[in-house]
Amino acid sequence: MTTLIKVIVAGAGGRMGKEVLKLVLGDKQLELAAAIGRSDAGKDAGELVGLPTAHIQVVADLKQALADYPADVLVDFTTPEYAYEHASLAIEAGVRPVMGTTGYTTEQIQELDQKCQAAGLGGLIAPNFSIGAILMMRFATQAAKHFPNLEIIEYHGDQKLDAPSGTAVKTAEMISEVRESMKQGNPNEKENIKGARGGEYDGFRIHSVRLPGVFAQQEVIFGGAGESLKIRNDSYERSSYMPGVKLGVQKVMEYSGMIYGFERFID
């Protein structure tokens, strides 16, 4: 018989948090230990997402919930300002963090890795849980070996707080690992409007589009002699991330250390 994985969901009242609640409440391999949401404290977790009563009230304080409710994994989709603190609190409580929240510094990721290893816990920081997005990043990395001239364009709704997105940054990091560092474009290029050419990363450009009605898309455009190549992923709704979230929850039970990037789990 498969052992249930007990999950705490932080950011339960947010758009991604609600999808995670639906996943956990509807999956026979997962069990909801607690739901965290400041503005929704006191509400039933099931009723919050339109499901039958779960008899688990949303609570406001993560630290208290970690102390009161035995759990195996924390799934966190909150905001960058709380991400590092939440991951640290989980590790201190012996709970494995699965962080969909981005905005960590390199030093913070290293510190969290050290904390996880010292505690014998697995952890995951994933800028994107979409299987299609991960494959897009992987294919783009392969293409960069042959097409070193490229630009990244990522599209999100106008309520997204960080730019570029965590997915775009992770894509750029993966590409830079295989691409010889070089500055693209005409050396005499001039921006008549500041920022028109986007942000620069290792010599290539990243562009962030923020518009109402847009969900999450990214394309990597490569240019070569007489041809171009475009690799693109389009996510249309948050449910597309849930198979990846479940896989992340399962995988952190199997290893020690903080993994940065969900692509490590895709064969």
Mean pLDDT (whole number) for 241-249: 94
Would the CA dihedral through 181, 221, 195, 215 be positive or negative?
negative
Round the average pLDDT of the chain to a whole number and report it: 94
Query: How far is Cα 221 from Cα 143, in angstroms, rounded to an integer?
Result: 10
pLDDT digits (tens, 9 = 90+) for 142-199: 999 999 999 999 999 998 888 999 899 999 999 999 999 999 989 999 999 999 999 9
Alpha-carbon separation of residue 31 from 58, 66, 130 (angstroms): 15, 15, 22
Is 244 known as a binding-site position?
A: no
Q: Which residues are catalytic?
A: 156, 160
For the four alpha carbons of 221, 222, 227 and 233, in that order, the dihedral sign comes to: negative
Residue 227's identity, in one-letter code, is E
The answer to whether the annotation marks 1 as part of a ligand binding site is no
DSSP letter at 30? Answer: E
Question: Average pLDDT, stretch 114-129?
Answer: 94
Residue type, 39: S
Tell whether residue 122 is among the known ligand binding residues. no
When pLDDT is cut at 50, 70 and 90, the band that residue 2 belongs to is low
Q: Tell which CATH classification among 3.30.930.10, 3.30.70.920, 3.40.50.720, 3.30.360.10 matches the domain 131-236.
A: 3.30.360.10
- Which pLDDT score is estimated for 261? 85
CA dihedral 129, 133, 134, 140 (to 10 degrees): -160
pLDDT in tens, 9-62: 999 999 999 999 999 999 999 999 999 998 899 999 999 999 999 999 999 999
pLDDT tops 50 at residue 1 = no
224 is in an annotated binding site: no
Confidence check: pLDDT of 205 > 90: yes
Q: Consult the annotation and say whether 198 binds a ligand.
A: no
Write down the domain spans for the chain.
5-125+239-265, 131-236
Please indicate if the annotation marks 128 as binding a ligand. Answer: yes
The structural architecture, per CATH, of the domain 5-125+239-265 is: 3-Layer(aba) Sandwich (3.40)
The pLDDT score that the predictor gives to residue 256 is 93
- The closest of 246, 167, 172, 164 to 207, measured between CA atoms, is 164
For residue 138, the model assigns a pLDDT of: 94
For residue 211, what pLDDT band results from cuts at 50, 70 and 90? very high
Look up residue 258 and give its two tokens. 């903080």
Q: Is 166 annotated as a binding residue?
A: yes
Those residues whose C-beta lies under 8 Å from the C-beta of residue 102, and which sit 6 or more positions away, are: 80, 83, 125, 127, 162, 165, 166, 169
Using CA atoms, how far apart are residues 173 and 159, in angstroms rounded to an integer? 25
